[in-house]
Structure 1
C-alpha cells in the first residue's frame, strides 16, 4: 500500500474517532429488597374524574347585550354573548369578537381571561366595547329572572350587564 494513502486512511479514522460522543451507560439503582413473589403489588387509588358542575340551563345560549354598566347600547349594536354548555364564552363586544371560559355554580359566575380581536372601530363603538368587556370581567353572578333578561352583577350586587335572549329559531 502506498504510504500517503495509509497516512490518509489513519487520519480519516482518527478524525472520525474524535467525533464520537460517548453515550453514558445507566447505572443500576441501589438494590432494594423486592417483595415476596406471593405478595400482590399495591394498587394506586383511582383518581376521580375532573367533573365541573353543569351551568344553569337558563343562562346557556346566545344573548343580545342591551345595557352595559348602566348605559344602553347603541342602536344596531353587534354586542352579544354566548354561554356554551362546555364552559366556553363567545360573542362580540360591539366591534371585536371575544372568547373566554366561564364557570357558573348556582348563580356564582366567574369569567376567565377574555381574548378579543383588535380591529379599530368608531370611537363610540370602542367605548361601548370597553364597557361590555369590563362588565363581563367584573361579573360575579348571573341570573335569569322570570322576565327573561340575563342580568350579570358584581360582588356587591350592582348590575353590570343586561341582555335579552336571541331567538334560536330562523
Structure 2
C-alpha cells in the first residue's frame, strides 16, 4: 500500500510538463506576422509623407494593387489609375506614368499627392502588413497597409 501511494505521487509529479521558468508571469512570445507579398495584395494608403490620410465622406479609400504581370492599378479616392511598375531587384520599385480618369471630388488633393508619391518611388520595404514606398533618398513618401478580403 505504501509503495503504491509513493508511485502515485511520483507519477503525478512527473505529469507536470511545464518547465519551471514558464509561469503565468512570463507572457508567451508575440506571434510574428509574415510579410505580405508585394504583388497581388490590395495596399490601402494610410500615410503620405508621414502624415495620416483621412477619407472624406462620399469618397473611397485610396489603394494600390501591383499585379504579377507588372500592371499597377488602384484608386486615388476619386479616380481609378493604371500603369506599369518595375521591380527588378528585391527592393526596387518604380512606376511608369500612371493614367487616370480626371473627376474632381473632396479628396482630389490626397489623390494628387498619392500619384505624385508613386511617381517618386525608387524602392520599398515590407514589414508584416505594412508597405513603405521610398524615394531615391530613402525617405518614405507613402505608407500603405495590406487589406485582405474575407
TM-score (norm 2): 0.69
Identify unmatched segments of 5+ residues in structure 2: 1-35
Structure 2: distance between partners of 1:73 and 1:166: 16
Corresponding residue of 1:167: 148
- Please state if 1:84 is matched with 2:40: no
Name the Cα RMSD after superposition: 1.7
- Please state if 1:141 is matched with 2:123: yes
Identify unmatched segments of 5+ residues in structure 1: 1-56
TM-score (norm 1): 0.61
Corresponding residue of 1:3: none
Deviations 1:56-113 (A, max 9, x none): x721111111011222111364200001111000001121111010011210111011
Name the SS for the 1:168 alignment partner: coil
- Please state if 1:127 is matched with 2:109: yes
8 Å Cα contact 1:69/1:132 also seen in 2: no
8 Å Cα contact 2:55/2:61 also seen in 1: no
Corresponding residue of 2:101: 117
Instruction: Select the structure of larger CA radius of gyration.
Output: 1
Structure 1: distance between partners of 2:147 and 2:70: 19
Structure 1: distance between partners of 2:148 and 2:121: 24
Among candidates 59, 63, 66, match of residue 38 of structure 2: 59
Equivalent residues, number: 111
Higher relative contact order, chain-length normalized (CA < 8 Å, sep 6+)? 2
Runs of 4+ in 1 over 2 A off after TM superposition: none
8 Å Cα contact 1:59/1:143 also seen in 2: no
